[in-house]
Amino acid sequence: MKLTAINVYNVDLPVVGKYRMSMGSVSLLQSTVVELITDEGVTGFGETCPVGPIYQPQHALGARAALEEMAPSLIGLDPRNFGQLNRAMESALNGSRYAKAAIDIAAWDICGKSYGRRICDLLGGATGDTIATYYSIPVASPEEAAREARERQREGHDRLQIKIGGRDVEEDIETLHRVNEAIKPGMRLAADANRGLTSRDALFLSQRCRDISFVLEQPCNTMEEIAAVRYQLCHPVYMDELAEDVNSVLRAISTGLVDGFGMKLTRVGGISALRTVRDICDARRLPHTCDDSWGGDIIAAACVHVGATVDTSRFEGSWIAAPYIDGHYDEENPVRLEGGRIKVPTGPGLGVVPDMAKLGSPIASFG
Cβ 55 vs Cβ 20: under 8 Å: no
Residue nearest to Mg ion (CB): 240
What whole-number distance in Å separates Cα of residue 24 and Cα of residue 53? 11
Per DSSP (E only), the strands in 241-362 are 260-261, 337-338, 341-343
Q: Which is nearer to Mg ion, 192 or 316 (CB)?
A: 192
Q: How far is the CB of 129 from Mg ion (least distance, A)?
A: 27
What whole-number distance in Å separates Cα of residue 101 and Cα of residue 116? 22
Q: Which residues contact 333 (CB under 8 A, 6 or more apart)?
A: 345, 346, 347, 351, 352, 353
Q: Which residues contact 312 (CB under 8 A, 6 or more apart)?
A: 127, 128, 132
Q: Which is nearer to Mg ion, 31 or 161 (CB)?
A: 161
Cβ 260 vs Cβ 287: under 8 Å: yes
Q: How far is the CB of 262 from Mg ion (least distance, A)?
A: 4
Q: Which is nearer to Mg ion, 44 or 262 (CB)?
A: 262
Nearest to 265 by CA among 245, 282, 290: 290
Q: How far is the CB of 28 from Mg ion (least distance, A)?
A: 21
Nearest to 352 by CA among 112, 15, 82, 3: 112
- Helix, strand and coil content of the chain, in percent to the nearest 5, comes to 40, 20, 40
Q: Which is nearer to Mg ion, 127 or 289 (CB)?
A: 289
- The site for Mg ion (CB under 5 A) is made up of 192, 217, 240, 262
Q: How far is the CB of 190 from Mg ion (least distance, A)?
A: 8
Q: Which is nearer to Mg ion, 314 or 343 (CB)?
A: 314
Residue 81 identity (one-letter amino acid): N
Q: Which residues contact 31 (CB under 8 A, 6 or more apart)?
A: 10, 11, 12, 13, 47, 48, 49, 60, 294, 295, 296, 299
Q: How far is the CB of 289 from Mg ion (least distance, A)?
A: 8
Q: Which is nearer to Mg ion, 47 or 240 (CB)?
A: 240
Residue 183, helix vs strand vs coil: coil
Cβ 145 vs Cβ 175: under 8 Å: yes
Q: How far is the CB of 321 from Mg ion (least distance, A)?
A: 13
Q: Which is nearer to Mg ion, 47 or 217 (CB)?
A: 217
Q: Which residues belong to the active site? A: 163, 264
What whole-number distance in Å separates Cα of residue 145 and Cα of residue 162? 8
CB atoms within 10 A of CB 233: 18
Q: How far is the CB of 101 from Mg ion (least distance, A)?
A: 17
What whole-number distance in Å separates Cα of residue 327 and Cα of residue 26? 18
